[in-house]
Amino acid sequence: MDRFDAMTLFVRIVESGSFTRAANALEIPRATATLAIQQLESRLGVRLLARTTRKVRPTPEGEAYFERCVQLLAELEEAEAVLKPVADNPRGVLRIEMHGTHASRLVLPNLYAFHQRYPHLEIVLTTGDRRVDLVGEGIDCAVRSGTPQDSTLVSRHLATLEQVICASPAYLERMGTPTAPEDLARHHGIRFVSGFNAPDTTLDLIVEGEARFFPTEGWLTVNDAESYLAAALAGFGLIQLPRFRLESELADGRLVSLLEAWAKPAMPVNVVYPQRRQLSPRVRVFVDWLAALYAERFPA
């Protein structure tokens, strides 16, 4: 392993706190990663990492070396982008994470056009409702809904999605149709839980120009969007989702949009990526392509 590869490995280990996660992200055996760091420490004559049973942390010398490595690797990648036509024709593996709906209904149907423009990029696209650790899991960028919370990530706005509150005709026949926000208190809301957060037990509306949160009763909690939608279709209660996710269900009458006289808080969608690294050409072209794709599908 050459010097710059060893520096890249060292940065990944510090960022992820794990030899194993860093090795997996770089697609090398863990034993190779261990040997490379041992050789790096031997060459520098200092101990860079303090290893415990649970986590790997940089020593004071390692922290100083880490900061310098981040800067040097960013400058190296920028220099290569200037000296080579890589910015126009990037290569390598691009790892992306997003919600399954965004992947299946927007990105994947248009992705071949991106592949034709950048044929030397190998794309690894993962989906799910779990909030992944981009640095720890070696993800280059992710599409996320909601207001960005992680200050260690750079965020670029993609779209603002209109939301609807809806339920199945069977549920409304059984429980009645809410005609005012106050009616929601006697209805069942299907609850959604993500990660370690508490379940969301409210439905949200704009009342007199302000966002208000209306609690609902409920007996079912789910942790993925497909189950959330399936539960509503089965008549278990009310849900709140972006309208584009429910277009077919609303069009064919399997779900009914409720309280149309009141606007719902819009849901922002952003693409995020780690801020410690220089934005690589492969990530830059994909982020720009995403921004154009969302702007066309969801004009302001």
State the pLDDT at residue 77.
72
Average pLDDT, the chain: 89
Least-confidence region, from 67-71, 145-149, 154-158, 285-289: 145-149
Is residue 66 within 8 Å of residue 11, measured between CB atoms? yes
Is residue 242 within 8 Å of residue 162, measured between CB atoms? yes
* Measured distance CA(171)–CA(187) in Å, rounded: 10
pTM: predicted TM-score of the whole model, two decimal places? 0.70
**pLDDT surpasses 60 at 84:** no
Better-scored residue on pLDDT, 152 or 140: 140
Report helix, strand or coil for 82.
helix
**pLDDT surpasses 70 at 167:** yes
Q: What is the mean pLDDT of residues 155-180?
A: 96
Give Cα 271 to chain centroid, integer Å: 7
State the pLDDT at residue 3.
86
Least-confidence region, from 34-48, 215-229, 276-290: 276-290
Element (H, E) at 91: none
> What is the number of helices (H) and of strands (E) in the chain?
10, 14
**pLDDT surpasses 60 at 236:** yes
Least-confidence region, from 105-119, 141-155, 210-224, 251-265: 141-155
Q: What is the mean pLDDT of residues 26-34?
A: 89
Is residue 255 within 8 Å of residue 168, measured between CB atoms? yes
Element (H, E) at 227: helix 225-233
Better-scored residue on pLDDT, 37 or 73: 37
Percent of the chain with pLDDT over 70: 94
Q: What is the mean pLDDT of residues 182-207?
A: 87
* Measured distance CA(22)–CA(102) in Å, rounded: 28
Concatenate the DSSP letters of all residues of 1-48 into one string.
Answer: --HHHHHHHHHHHHHHT-HHHHHHHHT--HHHHHHHHHHHHHHHTS--
Is residue 124 within 8 Å of residue 25, measured between CB atoms? no
CATH 3.40.50.620 corresponds to the domain 87-161+268-297: no
Exposure class string for 29-44: b at 16+ Cβ within 10 A, else e: eeeebeebbeebbeee
* Measured distance CA(289)–CA(276) in Å, rounded: 22
Pick the CATH number of 3-83 from 3.40.50.300, 1.10.3470.10, 1.10.10.10, 2.40.30.130: 1.10.10.10
**pLDDT surpasses 60 at 51:** yes
What DSSP designation does 120 have? T
State the pLDDT at residue 82.
60
Tokens of 191: 């609850």
Name the CATH superfamily, with its identifier, for domain 163-265.
Periplasmic binding protein-like II (3.40.190.10)
Is residue 152 within 8 Å of residue 193, measured between CB atoms? no
Q: Where are the domains of the chain?
A: 3-83, 87-161+268-297, 163-265
Tens of pLDDT, residues 243-283? 999 999 999 999 999 999 999 999 999 999 987 555 788 89
Largest CA distance in the chain: 75
Query: Would you say the CATH fold of 87-161+268-297 matches that of 3-83?
Result: no
Q: What is the mean pLDDT of residues 173-179?
A: 96
Tokens of 241: 């989702």
**pLDDT surpasses 80 at 80:** no
Report helix, strand or coil for 258.
strand
Is residue 135 within 8 Å of residue 16, measured between CB atoms? yes
